[in-house]
């Protein structure tokens, strides 16, 4: 489909309702090795809203990579690889566990580009999440579609790491952790659970740690170390992949009202960068 026709998808919207279920939040807490026992009435931690509002395409309709089919809400980009490239989130009010929430999603822009590795297409989605008559979260999410990757090409090391970390920790990814997050988000993308697909089709050495999972780790680290208040804004950008079985690290620094966080690959390259402000 030509680029001009793809622009017909700009402005398309869809709405979904979900209950911010305590059981789902408790499963996320156990997945993230955080204290369990989240109950109705408690605020949902930052970026945990991604475990709700799941796409429920029938299994028989999934693409070979495990993604839902394109052409209804999402534009039918003719590039086969799909990655979550980054986004920007504003937290207006806490989402409250136990309440019903509504997410409205809109295709904001479609931007074809030519990169060093070939054609690519960025699709930016705009989401708002409301509950009890209040706007709780607004975000933009950047999805990039890419040409097939040559399995013979080695994964590139990330750019140099930022300096001046004030806090951080090491993370040891494993396949049960990745499987659990895929299950919680109903994410069928095979790069997170099918090692043969990763090696034979994508040319990666092992399973890929989810970009949203990295962002969630960084947002949690930021909130834990803010001098006061919770997160107000959080902007993140995926830079290079992190793989199962290779320890990586997360770091950050925070001032009075803003800060930065980043994830480093096992080789010390930049995997994801983020900036945040507090409320």
What band does 157 get if pLDDT is binned at 50, 70 and 90? low
The domain segmentation of the chain, as residue ranges, is 3-278
pTM across the whole model? 0.94
Beta bridge pairs of residue 243 = 208
Q: How many other C-beta atoms are found inside a 10 Å radius of the C-beta of residue 110? A: 18
Residue 57 half-sphere exposure toward CB, CA atoms < 13 A: 17
The pLDDT value given to residue 1: 57
Per-residue pLDDT band at 48 (split at 50, 70, 90)? very high
CATH of the domain spanning 3-278, picked from 3.40.50.11810, 3.10.129.10, 3.40.50.300, 2.70.70.10: 3.10.129.10
| pLDDT per residue as tens digits for the range 215-261 | 999 999 999 998 777 899 999 999 999 999 999 999 999 988 899 99
DSSP letter string over 66-131?
A: SPPPSSSSS---S--EEEEEEEEEEE-SPPBTTSEEEEEEEEEEEEEEEETTEEEEEEEEEEEEEE
């Amino acid at each position: 489909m030509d680029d001009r026709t793809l622009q017909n998808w700009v402005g398309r919207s869809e709405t979904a309702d979900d209950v911010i279920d305590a059981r789902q939040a408790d499963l996320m807490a156990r997945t993230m090795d955080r204290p369990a026992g989240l109950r109705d009435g408690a605020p949902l931690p930052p970026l945990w809203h991604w475990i709700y509002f799941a796409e429920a395409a029938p299994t028989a309709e999934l693409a070979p990579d495990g993604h839902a089919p394109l052409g209804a809400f999402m534009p039918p980009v003719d590039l086969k690889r799909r990655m979550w490239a980054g986004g920007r989130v504003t937290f207006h009010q806490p989402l409250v566990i136990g309440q019903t929430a509504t997410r409205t999603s809109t295709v904001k822009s479609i931007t074809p580009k030519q990169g060093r590795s070939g054609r690519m297409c960025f699709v930016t989605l705009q989401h708002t999440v409301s509950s009890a008559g209040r706007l709780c979260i607004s975000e933009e999410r950047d999805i990039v579609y890419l040409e097939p990757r040559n399995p013979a090409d080695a994964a590139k090391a990330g750019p140099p790491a930022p300096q001046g970390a004030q806090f951080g920790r090491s993370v040891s990814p494993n396949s049960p952790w990745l499987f659990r997050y895929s299950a919680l988000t109903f994410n069928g993308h095979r790069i997170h659970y099918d090692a043969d697909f990763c090696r034979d089709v994508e040319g990666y050495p092992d399973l890929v740690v989810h970009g949203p999972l990295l962002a969630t780790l960084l947002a949690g680290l930021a909130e834990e170390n803010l001098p006061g208040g919770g997160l107000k804004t959080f902007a993140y950008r995926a830079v290079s992949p992190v793989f199962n079985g290779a320890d990586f690290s997360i770091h950050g620094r925070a001032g009075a009202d803003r800060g930065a966080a980043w994830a480093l690959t096992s080789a010390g390259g930049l995997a994801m960068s983020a900036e945040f402000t507090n409320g």
